[in-house]
Amino acid sequence: MEAIQNKVNQEGNDDPMYLEQQRELLNNEEDWRGYNMAGDLKKSIMFTRTQLLQLINRKRELDEE
């Protein structure tokens, strides 16, 4: 949503209907992330919940440094 607002501000388009139409498109757009599964999982990496949380915490630590 913020990206649309920035684009409208840059273009100088102050038409309220344009902004509303863009919001509608975003809200109605289907999210296909995670719907495609590879035929084989030979190149996939599996994480346990604990491992994933450790990776997230490590990333947070690195971002803070």
Domain holding 13, by residue range, is: 1-30
Structural domain includes residue 1: yes
Instruction: Please check whether residue 1 is in contact with residue 26, taking contact to mean a CB–CB distance below 8 angstroms.
Output: yes
Interval 9-49: pLDDT, tens: 666 666 778 778 878 887 777 776 766 767 777 777 888 89
Structural domain includes residue 40: no
Structural domain includes residue 2: yes
In one letter, which amino acid is 23? R
Structural domain includes residue 55: no
In one letter, which amino acid is 21? Q
In this structure, what are the phi and psi dihedrals at residue 29, rounded to the nearest 5 degrees? Answer: -70, 135
Nearest alpha-carbon partner for 24 in 7, 1, 57: 1
Q: What is the pTM of this model?
A: 0.35
**At which residue do the structure tokens 């440094």 appear?**
65
Measured distance CA(12)–CA(31) in Å, rounded: 29
* Number of domains, the chain: 1
Structural domain includes residue 61: no
